[in-house]
Amino acid sequence: MFTKKLIAAAVLGLGLTGAAQAGTVDFTFQPCGNAGCAVQTQTLDWAPGNVLALDGAGGGAPLPIGTAVTDLYQANLAVAQNSNGDIVFTNGGGGSFFSVVAGFGEVVNPLSAGNQTQFSFNPADPTNFFYVYADGTSGNNLTGAGFAGGTLVLSGAIVAVESSVTATNFDPTGVPLDGSGGNDYPGITTITTNGSAKVTVKVNTVNAAYFPDLPVATSIVLALTNSSLITPFNQVNPSANFSSNGILDADLPHGIGAQNGITGPNFQFQADGNSAFLIPEPGSLALIGASLLGLFGIRRRKEVA
């Protein structure tokens, strides 16, 4: 059972604020699991992946304010980059693959208006996990298998989320869900959306064989740009299954029905993000929720089948 993983950035779905007074930090990344392959890294660029919003289908209309959803996210690493933007590791290099699985709750907040739905972190949701794994093969975006499992290299908990999704067309007629390469879901159509998000994770455990100088309590920020939370899928295959808890692999079918966003009960997005590690100033973790300004931009974009 394959699984590659390593996410240094929080998940899915969805937006997120970071620790106040924090600064982006360089860290040592050892993708082979020892000092013989150590590279100085500042950001991890994740390949396009999948987000599943449980109970997130609106039946042809925006979700009402106060609606709670649970998001599941999975993706493979694309590249690691240093502070100059140079690529220092490409996923699969030396036979090392990394991926991330994450889950957390959100609630529709009162800032929503029209066809734009805005979400805030829901700390009452019992689903809250963030796992980065290393393995000898890549996760399969089509089946959803291989993202959970392998060697755990980092774990954490989501502490803040902010996201916004705009529906540009609630009529799924003639809009295939899968627009990436061949259509692997010929019977499933989708509403069209775009959105953005930031997700912040507090690191709880670190595997020193892969991150020898990354302290626990470091914050990780995943930034999803305005074109990242989208349907239909156009860069990666929609996953048929997700990990429900970050440990079981591909145990949960996507459950989106024949019309993604309409029939549900779940709603599935393509998600693409970049991430950075932040070392908070003393006491700043107590201020999680303050706006994180100056998120880095990272150039990239390679189509992933």
pLDDT digits (tens, 9 = 90+) for 232-253: 999 999 999 999 999 999 999 9
Q: Is residue 138 part of a domain?
A: yes
Q: Report residue 305 as tokens.
A: 């089948």
Residue range of the domain that includes 175: 23-287
Q: Is residue 1 part of a domain?
A: no
Split into its structural domains, the chain has a count of 1
pLDDT of residue 218: 86
Q: Is residue 61 part of a domain?
A: yes
pLDDT of residue 227: 55
Ranked by mean pLDDT, the top range of 18-22, 180-184, 273-277 is 180-184
pLDDT of residue 275: 72
Rounded CA-CA distance 136/272 in Å is 23
User: CB–CB of 9/18 below 8 Å?
Assistant: no
Q: Is residue 135 part of a domain?
A: yes
Q: Is residue 95 part of a domain?
A: yes
pLDDT of residue 122: 97
Q: Is residue 17 part of a domain?
A: no
Rounded CA-CA distance 134/275 in Å is 17
Query: pTM for the complete prediction?
Result: 0.85
Q: What is the largest CA-CA distance in the chain?
A: 54
Q: Is the pLDDT of residue 291 over 90?
A: no
pLDDT of residue 225: 56
Q: Is residue 213 part of a domain?
A: yes
Rounded CA-CA distance 209/206 in Å is 9
Please report how many Cα atoms fall inside a 13 Å half-sphere around the Cα of residue 55, on the Cβ side: 10
Q: Is residue 90 part of a domain?
A: yes
